[in-house]
Structure 1
Amino acid sequence: MGSFRGHALPGTYFFLMSFWWIIKSILKYVSKKQKRICYLGTKASTQRVELVEGIILIFMALSGIGGEQFLNGGPSLILYKEGQWNQLDGWHHCTMYFFFGLMGVSKVLCSTINSLPGSLVKLMMSNALFVEGFIFYNHTHGREMLDIFVHQMLCLVVLLAGIVSFLEFLTKNNVLLELLRSSLLMLQGTWFWQVAFVLYPPNGSPKWDLKDHNNRMFLSICLCWHYAFTYMIIGVSCVFVTWLVKWRLRRLCPSEVGLLKNTEREQESEEEV
């Protein structure tokens, strides 16, 4: 992670996965609201989606660990070298990736073994986020003021996401909690990109003064702008998915719509009697 690409990679991972979870949560909610009109999705298809998600998470974790360990002079799985600890920053990042990989493993297991509770995935997600928050809290020893600040903000976002994810574990099918967790994960992804531009500006970009308190004040505002951006994405996604589901219902299920509506009217008349 000690480079622009090293921060952009996890930022891209978090952004893409959180965006997919936003779409999935909204699609599940809208489909549930329309279930009297047309049935969308099956348990088998849901399990396949979870299986694919788990495989993708495992791939992301393994690619992150491999990049940290073996690219750009990484520790190459050597923790202690020549009488001292070897690149502990890289080992911090690998630990973070490892726990998200465990979350991917739990998704694969829960989608293939019916006896496992589905809430195990939510528990593993909250564990991964708490571990990540703990890692970044202890990640900035001896660094410049602005470097410490951007990591503190990242730590705050991660811990909030962990708390929301744990609340999801305690509840069931709460779409607001799902969207809140996804928004915090997306904020984490975009903030990784912001950290990359602050600490490792690309070629030709001006360098940030890591001791300037005005930069810190601006970045505190910038974090709020990032969060507003995530809610704009959620709003646009909600409008698009709602339109798409209703459009598909009108095209694919016209006869079933009429049949179910007549059945509902008969049931309502029987209840009135």
Structure 2
Amino acid sequence: MGTFLGHISSGSMFIALSIFWIMKQSYHLVATRNLTRQNSWLNIPFFRLILNFPLEGAAIMIFTTGGFIGENVHPHWKWKMFVNGKFVYTNVWIHCTIWTTFWIYGFVKVLTKNYMKDAITWVPVFRTFTYFIQCTLFYFHLGAHHVITSETGQSQNGTQIHHGGRSLMNVKMHIMAVIATFLSLMFSAGEIWLKKDKIIPWLRIWASLLNGTWLVQIAFTLFPLKEINKWDEDNHQNAKFVVMLFGWHCMLTIITTFVLHMVFTIFIRTAFKSVSRLDILAEKSKTLKTDGNISYDSD
């Protein structure tokens, strides 16, 4: 994950999942208000696919498998954990551990969708577990505290040194990533006990979307495709700006969540009304046909 592609791939997964969750949550809200005709949704091929196929779990497994392999082959081959009795590529294997926990979550989603529906209550537990592992590993492998080499708080050349050789801006951006992950963890855990709460799922979706957009931001800021776009990572003004930028991400993602919810709700209601009209026409046609048969028999 310590590359442009690593952050883009993980960020894209969270963004895609969040958009899917917004659509899914919008569907459930509209469907529960139309219980008398909820089965009509099965007549819409797109929603039939979502309802009957473990799309979410399968997508997570594909994403995470690609991420796991990518960590070990890009930018060079790294399929080793020990060399001469010593740990190597520890950061790579930390990232692979995160990918593995999300793969397990995806696998549980597939199982509970089609084969073990009685175990569906375990889904939020495994989702919370994945966020816990991500948050813990991010925090401790980041080293959120500054390590200073002298009493003045600077190294001999006057540059501040941070744990793991990270720059000031790098540390701050990854602290923000830890915060976004912790929010996802907290709201996901809330869903385990507060299953009927209507707000917590939206907060969890928002936090996951924030997690994704911020990882994409890290990719373009710390690992730019062109050297000319590289930031001065030890500049305090830049470090303060990225903290403010995180606030912008918080605002934009909550607005995006709300707007997408409105868009999906309008689309779903429109589709629902169209299917309802078709059902009504089908029922009228069936009634007319039945009446015609009855009058024919009475003759």
2 CA distance for matches of 1:235 and 1:205?
36
For 1:271, the equivalent position in structure 2 comes to none
For residues 71-99 of structure 1, the C-alpha deviation after alignment (integer angstroms, 9 at most, x for no partner) is: 322421x1111343211110011000000
Residue 229 of structure 2 aligns to a residue in which SS? coil
Moved more, 142-151 or 171-180: 171-180
For 1:10, the equivalent position in structure 2 comes to 10
For 1:169, the equivalent position in structure 2 comes to 192
Give the C-alpha shift of residue 175 in structure 1. Answer: 3.4
State the AA in 1 paired with 2:174.
H
Residue 177 of structure 2 aligns to a residue in which SS? helix
Contact 1:64 1:97 in 2 (8 A): yes
Q: 1:75 to 1:39 in 2, by over 3 A?
A: same
Give the C-alpha shift of residue 203 in structure 1. Answer: 1.1
Contact 2:40 2:275 in 1 (8 A): no
Does 2:90 match 1:67? no
State the AA in 1 paired with 2:57.
G
Does 2:26 match 1:26? yes
Q: 1:203 to 1:18 in 2, by over 3 A?
A: same
For 2:134, the equivalent position in structure 1 comes to 132
Contact 2:11 2:211 in 1 (8 A): yes
What is the root-mean-square deviation in Å for CA atoms of aligned residues? Answer: 2.3
For 2:57, the equivalent position in structure 1 comes to 54
Contact 1:47 1:112 in 2 (8 A): no
2 CA distance for matches of 1:230 and 1:71?
30
Q: Which runs of 5+ in 1 are unaligned?
A: 259-273
For 1:144, the equivalent position in structure 2 comes to 167
Contact 2:41 2:272 in 1 (8 A): no
Contact 2:40 2:276 in 1 (8 A): no
Q: Percent identity?
A: 25
Give the C-alpha shift of residue 251 in structure 1. Answer: 2.2
TM-score using structure 1 length: 0.86
TM-score using structure 2 length: 0.79
Q: Which runs of 5+ in 2 are unaligned?
A: 143-162, 282-299
For residue 227 of structure 1, the aligned residue among 221, 225, 250 is 250
1 CA distance for matches of 2:52 and 2:131?
25
2 CA distance for matches of 1:146 and 1:12?
22
For 1:198, the equivalent position in structure 2 comes to 221
Q: How many residue pairs end up in the alignment? A: 256
Q: 1:224 to 1:183 in 2, by over 3 A?
A: same
Residue 116 of structure 1 aligns to a residue in which SS? helix
Contact 2:111 2:117 in 1 (8 A): no
2 CA distance for matches of 1:40 and 1:153?
44
For 1:267, the equivalent position in structure 2 comes to none
State the AA in 1 paired with 2:88.
N
2 CA distance for matches of 1:96 and 1:236?
30
For residue 123 of structure 1, the aligned residue among 106, 122, 125 is 125
For residue 263 of structure 2, the aligned residue among 237, 240, 246 is 240
Contact 1:37 1:256 in 2 (8 A): no
2 CA distance for matches of 1:44 and 1:111?
13
Moved more, 25-34 or 88-97: 25-34
